[in-house]
Structure 1
């Protein structure tokens, strides 16, 4: 019931535009703020403390897996990504990227699974598994503090435009678009929370509502469920496109993963 009340308030706060697409308002570059800005001080302090931040449990697990030789005897991730050979420091700040072999857009999770299949002869890891979340968290943590900067030229442009379309598209039983909350009403109160600008720079992140760690795609699925739209599959081309659009929209913000969110 409380969730339904919150959604009713959200509808009231974000309504007012008509048509299939919401008005395509944008946040001026000088006004872009991380979701961290809208957190309670206690939550900010939890993210800032590397010993208390629960997301580091997944970072530590990912670092172990990264350096571990699989039971099959395949090379460890670290054997290819050493400090002087394909280092991963800062790389996550520039994802998603186009994969030259498949011609598809890949985020960090997809790249990890592609590397497992191509270079380690291992099966892909399940979405939201501790292993995939851990490896993603470890790679993302190597980019903490690095400004987001993604390439949307060439084939990536179509994904970027598709992601933008989805962000502005009204959908679900509540007929809401992402932009109505995160462009038009950020900074306003929704029950006890402050609506953020909807950036993904802290993900994968520990979310209080989940009481666990999760990916950006899980957060997108939650948002779609919240407006009574059908959530898409993890790793879907549409969510990949949205991830690219959000990264470009947040360009210049520092990577924060493992973040802590409400």
Structure 2
């Protein structure tokens, strides 16, 4: 936490427009051809850790998810019963989430879809955010889409969610009065002490962060960012964070899915 706050403080000192407390930053867009995965900003040793499926610690959760995917519920149904023994029916699904659930009309991310499937088809209780079981299933589904370009639908009912997520990305918050865009649009590639600021894409999540020494969801990362600027983190599964996930997925369109990624 202290390290995150220090990095945010250093960002404040580097931003020339941080003196306008009530002003939303100009919506600086990433130019075509400039979209880069956070992987490209990692040290070679960290890249090597992600690339090695035996050494990458995220595969502990993928393996857990694989086992849960094939575990039958009391009604005899497993995830594999509908989606194939190797998950072939879900081969690219994670690259297209968050998405609107047709039955409820609500936006759901992968975690939400897994819990809806558990309730609707397996007569099971939903899993808690950041529980190893939900992280494992999410990691397994995301792993099935590894290498697939991200592409989400923001038309129709998804449009208002996308706009809500975009607004959050550009709104200053917290005691440091910073917006996501100030780091990840305007300052990416610059140095903060020993780190290089990335463009803030979520294509490696759920992923393993060396700072956490653990595996976590994209929403855990969003909560870390809010804490880093000394803003109150939102609840896991909040509509706002789901909207931000949709905005980030569209912003990263074309980047390959990397989960389980490894990040600093």
* Class of the TM-score when normalised by the shorter of the 2 chains: over 0.9
C-alpha contact (below 8 Å) 1:74/1:121 kept by paired residues: no
- C-alpha separation in 2, matches of 1:140 and 1:84: 13
Say if 1:203 and 1:64 are closer, same or farther in 2 by CA, change over 3 A: same
Superposition pairs of residues 120-135 of structure 1, within 5 angstroms: 120-135=122-137
Pick from 65, 70, 94: which aligns with 2:68?
65
Q: Which runs of 5+ in 2 are unaligned?
A: none
Helix, strand or coil at the partner of 2:262: strand
| Match in the other structure for 2:92 | 90
Pick from 31, 36, 47: which aligns with 1:33?
36
Superposition pairs of residues 170-249 of structure 1, within 5 angstroms: 170-249=172-251
Deviations 1:154-207 (CA, angstroms, capped at 9, x unpaired)? 010000000000000001111100000000000001111000000000000000
Say if 1:133 and 1:15 are closer, same or farther in 2 by CA, change over 3 A: farther
State whether structure 2 residue 46 is matched by structure 1 residue 43. Answer: yes
- C-alpha separation in 1, matches of 2:44 and 2:83: 37
CA displacement at 1:15 relative to structure 2: 4.6
- C-alpha separation in 2, matches of 1:103 and 1:173: 36
Say if 1:3 and 1:99 are closer, same or farther in 2 by CA, change over 3 A: closer
- C-alpha separation in 1, matches of 2:5 and 2:61: 32
- C-alpha separation in 2, matches of 1:11 and 1:85: 45
- C-alpha separation in 2, matches of 1:15 and 1:194: 19
**TM value normalised by structure 2:** 0.95
**TM value normalised by structure 1:** 0.96
- C-alpha separation in 1, matches of 2:120 and 2:154: 25
Q: Which runs of 5+ in 1 are unaligned?
A: none
C-alpha contact (below 8 Å) 2:5/2:230 kept by paired residues: no
CA displacement at 1:4 relative to structure 2: 4.3
Deviations 1:16-54 (CA, angstroms, capped at 9, x unpaired)? 153431111011121000000000000000000000000
C-alpha contact (below 8 Å) 2:5/2:229 kept by paired residues: no
- C-alpha separation in 2, matches of 1:2 and 1:118: 42
Instruction: Report how many aligned residue pairs link the two structures.
Output: 261
